[in-house]
Structure 1
């Protein structure tokens, strides 16, 4: 892997991280956000639900696992 390939990978990874962080903030703020793949709304599962915590769409296209510290 040369320097240019590494820089592209770094930029793509940073963009993906920032996009996911923004999505998490919007959903946790109570906004209705649709999945980019299937169009269903993304829901949040909290620790009180006794399930795997995170953000998920109905079809599973969006699947962001979150760890909550209680």
Structure 2
């Protein structure tokens, strides 16, 4: 089996999410690619060790482990 295409897609997704988080951490406004709502960075998770980056509709949601 050839996993090269899957590996490329996974790497692109990871790098896109990393770039989005960098922009959010700098205070820049980032719009969701699906609904054009602003993506919000929430670092005040209920447990204190979880955070997220998400849009209002939930089509973009990145869970973060904070340590």
Same fold by TM-score greater than 0.5: yes
The correspondence for 1:60, drawn from 34, 45, 58, is 58
How is 1:1-70 mapped onto 2 (pairs within 5 angstroms)? 2-3=1-2, 6-47=3-44, 50=46, 53-69=51-67
Aligned-CA RMSD value: 1.5
State the distance in 2 between where 1:46 and 1:19 align: 20
The structure carrying a bigger strand percent of its residues is: 2
How many residue pairs get aligned? The number is 65
Any runs of at least 4 consecutive aligned residues in structure 1 with deviations exceeding 2 A, and if so which? 49-52
- What is the TM-score with the length of structure 2 in the denominator? 0.87
- What is the TM-score with the length of structure 1 in the denominator? 0.84
Give the structure with higher Rg (CA).
1
Show structure 2 runs of 5+ residues with no match.
none
Which structure's relative contact order is higher, taking Cα pairs within 8 Å and 6+ residues apart? 2
The structure carrying a bigger helix percent of its residues is: 1
Show structure 1 runs of 5+ residues with no match.
none
